[in-house]
Structure 1
């Protein structure tokens, strides 16, 4: 329940503080007097959209503060958000708006603690339901109608919808797992084909030692220069061991030196080490000559082998370019893909098992959806009966109403499409509410719907902006009684031009505009611009008589005053006849079902 509203520099309001009471609170005044600004400020302080025009001209800062009475539901929310409660069981929402070069900046607080937009929206859903002019069109939306029906169904239906949401989430998870596995299977098969091709190509190459390419390069060099090497080896042999041209070879020269040293040793033993060196050199020269002769004899000049070597080198280099860069890298790649190919070909996860799991979750989803549909049918029957009984006193006694449930694809909200069907006139077929209802009929329908929820909706404050527009006489009286009835279970704030509605108010506020001319206040004061401000007054009994007379007759003539007195007397008689409970005693009581569609 909204206890008080403080406004500073918002739109046409400079300074304003309003106390609200339990039951039906009515705001009246001339068209354009600023009544809707009061409701706009409530919307703004609870996180509603604002523009630069929200801040009063000439001011750089605006502040709105709304104080609500705390209940168990709000206390639980504060505890969840780790926000301390205030004394006197109050909850204070405030919003500060500041002009900047980029627009309007604002900060919202709850009990002095900064909160974000999401937190403010959650709290707003627990505090007020605002029905402004033009918002009745939302009733035509299928999602809004589904929310109304589900909330009317109560805890059992809402719990079932939670089960549907959980089942849908599980089914979606199973579907994602299946799709991921199918995608992985496609990628696996593609990867397997690639690895199979690579493995086949590498296996065909019969790769061996990592240095095979270097060895082949050396062999190609040898085979390519075999004739030249043979000639050179023969030349070296002759120079070392045996010179067929008649000259002395190195072995002959060293052998002569050895003979001389042997003679010298007989006379001087100190030459013995030198003799040993020369003898060793002679033996090495002779061995080198023999090995060089054998090397020349073993040289292969086979051109076929040379071609084989060159072909093998080309093959290995191609593999190195694809899988290398070195032959060792290509061999390592072959070993790696062989192991991965074995894993890919041995994949054990079954798509059929995932398909079976998904089918199982789909069946479970269908089962809980079917149960939700049954509960919705039960709630639909009850809502149809209740709503028709609420509409009949609102000059819609011949109305027909039906909640249409048509199958739809399963979702987190079930497998039903909800459509409110209405026939306001006898003989006309039932048609979707949004297609046939006039503005006045839609307003009355919404009011009747609110009445259906009056005892189960936990919101403390219902706000109506000219819900009675376009009606008069008996219908206006019926709307007045309905609003007062809502006031027994909620606090109701209503902007109206109807004297019949205003007469039923528990608290009556008059809104008007006042022009302030500072130059008139003091002849010596500096001249300033003329300003317009909104003023709100809570009316006493005599002031209410005069306001109702103005609403009814346009002037405070004796006849209009008499009519106003009759309205107040009639309103008092209706209260006593209906034996309505004290609204203050029922406001703030927690409810089992929570409405999830507030605006």
Structure 2
């Protein structure tokens, strides 16, 4: 329940504190007195659109104080916010930003900064504001379906949440299939290219990254085999055995070895030199013998040479395509095989996904059907409850029907909901938006709120000129309905109707004053005599004796209605 509203430097208000009580709180005043500013301030404190500051001010504040209950205490615990002795305090600081002069704001709950999402979540637990603009909202099929679902309660809302989850699953599968179908051509092209490369590289039998160098060396040896045989023979002649009659290097080293050995016998210091020459002789002789063996291995082998040339051509072409080195070609071949395996075994194929999609759609349809049945049940109950609420509001012959048509599944189910009404006898049912006058729409909205007040945990309900377009008996019926709702809820009502104001448990007058050449809005709680004066002003615009007589009759009638409601609260 709202206990207190503090307002500083907001629109036409310089500074104001308004105390609210349980029951029906009525705000009256002349047109333009500032009644809507009070409700705007409450809306702003609870996360609504930030309104203008008072002219000449750089900072404003709106603060609403509520009594705590178990649900609000649980919300504070969840958000890690400590309770206050004063209750639950929702405040909004309004500031002009330096530089561009734009209006900014900060919201707090019990002094703790909160974001807009948190504040709007809390707001839904604190107040429900019904304004004239909602007569436009109620014409929306989406709004009508949402209200029907809320009326259906936890079972219906739970089923709707289940349908929403199933729809998301189905939609995700559908999007995945469409994406795969769009990518299938590119995927097949990629698969063809990888299969071609894999086949080509596998045929090369690549294993040794040094194969190219080895083959090039063997090719060079085979291509110059005759020349190498001749040169190896000549080198053998020079080193080991010279058939021309000239001494070979081995012969000369042998002579030098013998000479040094003789000299070492006389001078032992020459022994190391003699050993060096002996070692050189051994190496020269070994080299000569190796040259003979090397020359014997050299043969002109055109077949082998051709084979090597073909292999080198294959490897070099692979290096040009996938290299540049053979080691890089081998690494590319390994990557091709890995990607090919991934694409070929890439999860579930389209046929399997389509089967999953069909199954998901069947499940979605099944739960949409169950949701639709719950909505049908809720619709019959809502029809009965609304007719009961509308009949006392001057619509005794009203007919009301919730029509539900099936369409394509969505996250909200497959039902299209529309409210149809016939307010007058003999008239056919038509969509609410097509036939309802302003007064009829106001009464319908009030009846709807009365129905929801039985199940709505929100303690405070705000009605902004819900009596627009009505008078006489209808206004009296609206007054009675508001007072009835106020038995279980705190009601804040802005009205111009004396019939409604007369039933108020607490009556406040909104008016403007001029101080220091500045206009400001004031709100005064009214005592008995002041209330009579205000009701007279609402009745006739002055406090003439005739108006006061009518006011006395209103108050007497209001007292009788209170007694009747106390005796029969339903």
Give the structure-1-normalised TM-score. Answer: 0.83
The 5-angstrom pairing of residues 378-457 of structure 1 reads 378-457=377-456
Tell me how far 1:75 sits from its aligned partner. 2.3
Aligned residues between the structures:
567
- Is 1:547 aligned to 2:547, yes or no? no
The 5-angstrom pairing of residues 340-351 of structure 1 reads none
Cα distance per residue 1:501-555 (max 9 Å; x no partner)? 22221111111111123xxxxxxxxxxxx21100111111211221121112122
- Deviation larger for 458-467 or 365-374: 365-374
CA distance in 2, matches of 1:42, 1:78: 20
Cα distance per residue 1:434-472 (max 9 Å; x no partner)? 343333322221011111222211111111111112222
Tell me how far 1:312 sits from its aligned partner. 2.2
- Is 1:563 aligned to 2:563, yes or no? no
Residues 488 and 581 in structure 1, CA contact (< 8 A), matched pair in contact too:
no
CA RMSD of aligned residues (A): 3.5
Determine the structure 2 residue equivalent to 1:86: 84
SS in 1 for 2:479: helix
SS in 2 for 1:468: coil
Tell me how far 1:350 sits from its aligned partner. 7.0
CA distance in 2, matches of 1:581, 1:184: 70
CA distance in 2, matches of 1:509, 1:16: 13
Determine the structure 2 residue equivalent to 1:26: 26
Give the 3 Å change call, closer, same or farther, for CA 232–143 of structure 1 in structure 2.
Answer: same
Give the 3 Å change call, closer, same or farther, for CA 298–62 of structure 1 in structure 2.
Answer: same
Give the 3 Å change call, closer, same or farther, for CA 267–115 of structure 1 in structure 2.
Answer: closer
Give the 3 Å change call, closer, same or farther, for CA 577–209 of structure 1 in structure 2.
Answer: closer
Tell me how far 1:323 sits from its aligned partner. 4.2
- Is 1:151 aligned to 2:150, yes or no? yes
SS in 2 for 1:47: coil
Residues 63 and 92 in structure 2, CA contact (< 8 A), matched pair in contact too:
yes
CA distance in 1, matches of 2:271, 2:64: 123
CA distance in 2, matches of 1:280, 1:559: 149
Candidates 65, 68, 74, aligned match of 2:66: 68
SS in 2 for 1:87: coil
- Deviation larger for 66-75 or 308-317: 308-317
Residues 28 and 495 in structure 2, CA contact (< 8 A), matched pair in contact too:
yes
Residues 463 and 493 in structure 1, CA contact (< 8 A), matched pair in contact too:
yes
Determine the structure 2 residue equivalent to 1:592: none
Give the 3 Å change call, closer, same or farther, for CA 515–288 of structure 1 in structure 2.
Answer: same
- Deviation larger for 191-200 or 559-568: 191-200
- Is 1:59 aligned to 2:57, yes or no? yes
Tell me how far 1:284 sits from its aligned partner. 4.6
Cα distance per residue 1:29-83 (max 9 Å; x no partner)? 11111000000011011111114x2x21222221222122222222222222232
- Deviation larger for 211-220 or 336-345: 336-345
CA distance in 1, matches of 2:44, 2:254: 120
- Deviation larger for 417-426 or 91-100: 417-426
Residues 264 and 271 in structure 2, CA contact (< 8 A), matched pair in contact too:
no
Determine the structure 2 residue equivalent to 1:579: 566
SS in 1 for 2:106: strand
CA distance in 1, matches of 2:518, 2:338: 86
SS in 1 for 2:466: coil
Tell me how far 1:96 sits from its aligned partner. 1.8
CA distance in 1, matches of 2:197, 2:54: 77
CA distance in 2, matches of 1:313, 1:345: 33
SS in 1 for 2:453: coil
Cα distance per residue 1:232-271 (max 9 Å; x no partner)? 3344344334556665543454455567678x57995968
Determine the structure 1 residue equivalent to 2:369: 370
Give the 3 Å change call, closer, same or farther, for CA 255–434 of structure 1 in structure 2.
Answer: same
Determine the structure 2 residue equivalent to 1:43: 43
- Deviation larger for 420-429 or 164-173: 164-173
Determine the structure 2 residue equivalent to 1:476: 475
Determine the structure 2 residue equivalent to 1:494: 493
- Is 1:459 aligned to 2:484, yes or no? no
Determine the structure 2 residue equivalent to 1:521: none
CA distance in 2, matches of 1:12, 1:515: 11
CA distance in 1, matches of 2:318, 2:539: 101
Determine the structure 1 residue equivalent to 2:215: 216
Unaligned runs of 5+ in 2: none
Determine the structure 1 residue equivalent to 2:197: 198
Tell me how far 1:481 sits from its aligned partner. 1.8
Cα distance per residue 1:545-586 (max 9 Å; x no partner)? 21121112122222222222222222222222343678xxx9
Tell me how far 1:152 sits from its aligned partner. 1.8
The 5-angstrom pairing of residues 110-121 of structure 1 reads 110-121=109-120
Residues 488 and 580 in structure 1, CA contact (< 8 A), matched pair in contact too:
no
CA distance in 1, matches of 2:113, 2:134: 30
Tell me how far 1:107 sits from its aligned partner. 2.2
Determine the structure 1 residue equivalent to 2:5: 5
Give the 3 Å change call, closer, same or farther, for CA 269–396 of structure 1 in structure 2.
Answer: same
- Deviation larger for 294-303 or 215-224: 294-303
CA distance in 2, matches of 1:157, 1:261: 118
CA distance in 1, matches of 2:12, 2:371: 50
Residues 25 and 491 in structure 1, CA contact (< 8 A), matched pair in contact too:
yes
Give the 3 Å change call, closer, same or farther, for CA 549–194 of structure 1 in structure 2.
Answer: same
Give the 3 Å change call, closer, same or farther, for CA 361–580 of structure 1 in structure 2.
Answer: farther
SS in 2 for 1:126: coil
Give the 3 Å change call, closer, same or farther, for CA 344–6 of structure 1 in structure 2.
Answer: closer
CA distance in 2, matches of 1:266, 1:85: 114
Tell me how far 1:349 sits from its aligned partner. 5.8
CA distance in 2, matches of 1:274, 1:73: 110
- Is 1:506 aligned to 2:493, yes or no? no
CA distance in 2, matches of 1:347, 1:35: 67
